[in-house]
Amino acid sequence: MKSQTDIKNIPASIAMIFLFVITGINSCTVKTTASESVKDVMDRTVTHLYQTMSEQQLDSLTNDQALALFNENDKEILATRYWMFDVNVPVIVSIMRSEEQKIIPFWLIPSGFVKTDKTMSNEQITYEVWQKKFEAGHVGLGINGFEDYMLHYFVSVAPVNKNDPLQLTNFFPENQYVGTLSDSAFTYHDWTELVLRNVPEDMKGQKLLTTIRGRGTESHLVGAFRKTSFPSSPNPDQVMLTWSADPATTIDIQWRTDTTVQSGKINFREKGTETIQTVAAEKYRMEDRNLMNDRYIYRFTAHLANLKPGTTYEYQIVPATTWSEEYSFSTPANDDSFSFIWTGDTHHSPSIEKLFNQANKSHPEAAFYSIAGDMVSEGLHRDHWDDLFHFTRKIISRKPLMTVLGNHDTRQGLGAKMYRDLFSYPKNAPAGVHPEHTYSFRYKNALFLMIESTAPIDTQKTWIEEQLKTTDATWKFAMFHFAPYNWEESYPDIQAAWIPLFDKYHVDMVMNGHIHYYMRTKPMKAGKVVSSYRQGTVYVESVGIPTKPEKRREEPYTVVRNFNGDLYQYVKIEGNKLSFSAINSDNKVIDSFAIQK
């Protein structure tokens, strides 16, 4: 299981791509314009076909039917405006495409590309090499196909005359990374550990144009369409609490409606009083073009401020909900005692409903909940988020949900725009990382560093150190998805960049997921076991979904390992004492320990 860490900046024009879908089997008659892009063609075709095709027709769309959707002008755009650049001399362009992708893109052979006898590979797949000569000037390449094949083609460029100094300019997508074709070169920014082998000798040294695995979703038609089990309506739902500022005096309330509701606001009051305050909500439209039954929704966010510490509030979403216990929250009192619940990967599993409800029943005083990444299995599929919010609905309308991103939440390198649209978190990320992907917050006497481990690792070192060296918090916690200690993969980049800072400033607990088992380390410092948690850090990995027992290699730094999911962790702070329990969905404690400062 590789880490899929992005150590290079993904081109912004790729990373912000939504999933584009086609919704019928008749050619769209809208006229093509000279400046249209692949995105424009897909957008207008989607709109036309959703108006004309049934769900059954969309579900059964074939590759031939997908191609028949487009007129000749559309096909020209799909064949030439997907990946573009200029060259200053005549060149040979090579396209490396997976041998396992059986359907050849419709444009490849007609445009003059010829399959060679050359191949190259990585640890997963063998790539065949297709080549074509271009004169100096513009090079335009086409879509990866109409299926969502997750090992996208990549490109190399070489001058026809080996003595010509080659220059590549005017890239689309912009900010194209240009590497060198060789053994050990990476081709996908979202999985840089997946490197090339067996590159033909006569191709080594060519300019290598990299991509991301998930970019093929731009033209995904065949098997693309989904339905949500919980479509929106005029009635507010997916009511969720988060913090984007000081938990003692603020809270953010978020909810969803369909697009018939034009505005929203929150009425709130101290419990037991009649004085009502009102806050207008921000509104924005979200789109998931793949959702046949709920393409557009509105998301609302209301920021409540100037709250009183240690106070319970009731709130009402206007214009739909009434006052009820379901919609209430409490601000933290001015003391040094609190508790919280966290778990590892929740993915796309209905078992989370039982787990969260059990945690709430056993620990109703917990101040907030956290998930250590991979909250869903497909981060740009809104139906997955709809399920998660439904499963946790009884909790997150009363307790803030503070999370971090996992590799599944960013979907094959396409970025996490949907995550940013759904959650309201502190915007204090380090430079080079999206706001809300990495953030920190202070709750009473504890500092929480919520770090995106799928973002560049070294970029975040300075921010982590600044957060730790300037805090006077008694307790320091870090949560991120990729675990630096586990039986499968060591993540040497995280161990080199972050662990020395955790050691230097004595982070008390690091909370992780990803490997799908439970593990607690002995106290660790500088990669070695030390005598006490007062000298070293405890690293805990957990999983929120059911798993099967496994026999894995031993880990000498562990205290407890358990290969049975589904688990949540209960952490209680009482001044200078921390108590910890790991509990399964049957309410059985599988591990516990305490730290006394």
DSSP symbols for 34-95: TT--HHHHHHHHHHHHHTT--HHHHHT--HHHHHHTS-HHHHHHHHHSSEEEEESS-EEEEE
Return the H-helix or E-strand segment holding 466. Answer: helix 461-469
Task: Give the per-residue pLDDT at 33.
Answer: 53
Task: Give the per-residue pLDDT at 325.
Answer: 87
Provide the CA 122 distance to its chain's centre, in angstroms.
25
Map out the domains of the chain with their CATH numbers. 38-217 (no CATH), 249-321 (2.60.40.380), 339-596 (3.60.21.10)
Q: What are phi and psi of 403, to 5 degrees?
A: -130, 170
Task: Give the per-residue pLDDT at 27.
Answer: 36
Tell me which DSSP letter residue 214 carries.
G
Structure tokens at 230: 């919980």
Structure tokens at 536: 């070293």
Beta-bridge partners for 209: 155, 178
Ranges of the chain whose pLDDT falls below 70? 1-34
Q: Residue 328 and residue 269: Cα distance in Å, rounded?
A: 10
Question: CB under 8 Å to 33, separation ≥6 — which residues?
Answer: 40
Sign of CA dihedral 352, 354, 355, 357: positive
Beta pairing class for 369-371 and 401-403: parallel
pTM for the predicted model, two decimal places: 0.91
